[in-house]
């Protein structure tokens, strides 16, 4: 056990309210138990535990993130690993070399709370830093068989705003257009709704052009803010 993982675990246990754990676990339909640390105290724990961190290189950072992730006994430890992955000390390490780590976390986490936290920030940071390699990787994920990798590819540009690569967005959506899977339909709608804040006319055009293939859920979400 690494020193950092040990410290995070100790702090989480100290902040836990065990009475809240069963409801948290039931809400998330989690096979992994909860300690009972809600979002605000969890962020405070991570802020304290990670305050003085300075990693010599990306490999050292990835090693610590995965040590917490792989050794997790409670779901809050997964959340702490994600907080470390997003920590300001790691900004320079959000490169394509980090993608295998995130892929492991997405595939093993395999639920929306974990996946969306990774897809909507760290993956976009990699895309912003290493666009050609990351764009190719997201297109590959979008065409694959893993539901959560496919969802991640669709959502990876949520923070992009005017920098959204529409060709990439549509390429990541295309393999899921005919899917009956709720989490893919929801992701399509979410991604389109987000871009509609920048260009509502384009989203309206895209929805009309793909009306026969888009699910009602995806259409409704996409056009939520389109007048």
User: 14-73, pLDDT tens digit by residue?
Assistant: 999 999 999 999 999 999 999 999 999 999 999 999 999 999 999 999 999 999 999 999
For the chain, domain boundaries:
1-90, 94-227
SS (H, E, C) 53-118: CCCCCHHHHHHHHHHHHHCCCCHHHHHHHHHHHCCHHHHHHCCHHHHHHHHHHHHHHCCHHHHHHH
Which pTM does this prediction carry? 0.96
pLDDT score at 227 = 75
Dihedral of the alpha carbons of 80, 83, 89, 91, in degrees to the nearest 10: 150
Give the pLDDT of residue 209: 98
User: Which CATH architecture does the domain made up of 94-227 adopt?
Assistant: Alpha Horseshoe (1.25)
pLDDT at 1 over 70: no
On the question of pLDDT at 82 being above 70, the answer is: yes
Decide if 1-90 and 94-227 have a common fold: yes
pLDDT in tens, 112-169: 999 999 999 999 999 999 999 999 999 999 999 999 999 999 999 999 999 999 999 9
Categorize the per-residue pLDDT at 6 as very low, low, confident or very high, splitting at 50, 70 and 90. Answer: very high
Would you say 148 and 106 are in contact if contact means Cβ atoms under 8 Å apart?
A: yes
Nearest-Å Rg of the Cα atoms of the chain is 18
pLDDT tens column, 179-206: 999 999 999 999 999 999 999 999 999 9
- The CATH number of the structural domain formed by 1-90 is 1.25.10.90
Asked if 137 and 96 count as a contact pair (C-beta separation under 8 A), the reply is yes
Q: What is the pLDDT of residue 2?
A: 80
8 vs 2: CA distance, rounded Å: 10
Q: What are phi and psi of 175, to 5 degrees?
A: -65, -15
């Amino acid at each position: 056990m690494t020193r950092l993982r040990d410290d995070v675990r100790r702090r989480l246990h100290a902040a836990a309210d065990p009475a809240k754990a069963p409801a948290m676990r039931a809400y998330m339909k989690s096979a992994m138990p909860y300690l009972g640390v809600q979002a605000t105290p969890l962020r405070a724990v991570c802020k304290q535990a990670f305050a003085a961190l300075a990693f010599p290189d990306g490999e050292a950072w990835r090693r610590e993130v995965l040590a917490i992730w792989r050794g997790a006994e409670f779901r809050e430890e997964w959340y702490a690993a994600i907080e470390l992955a997003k920590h300001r000390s790691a900004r320079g390490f959000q490169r394509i070399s980090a993608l295998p780590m995130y892929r492991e976390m997405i595939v093993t986490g395999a639920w929306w709370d974990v996946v969306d936290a990774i897809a909507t920030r760290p993956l976009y940071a990699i895309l912003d830093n290493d666009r050609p390699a990351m764009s190719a990787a997201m297109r590959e994920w979008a065409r694959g068989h893993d539901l959560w990798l496919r969802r991640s590819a669709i959502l990876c540009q949520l923070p992009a705003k005017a920098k959204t690569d529409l060709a990439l967005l549509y390429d990541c959506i295309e393999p899921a257009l005919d899917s009956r899977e709720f989490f893919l339909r929801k992701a399509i709608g979410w991604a389109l709704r987000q871009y509609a804040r920048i260009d509502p006319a384009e989203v309206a055009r895209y929805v009309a052009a793909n009306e026969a293939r888009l699910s009602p859920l995806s259409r409704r979400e996409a056009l939520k803010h389109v007048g």
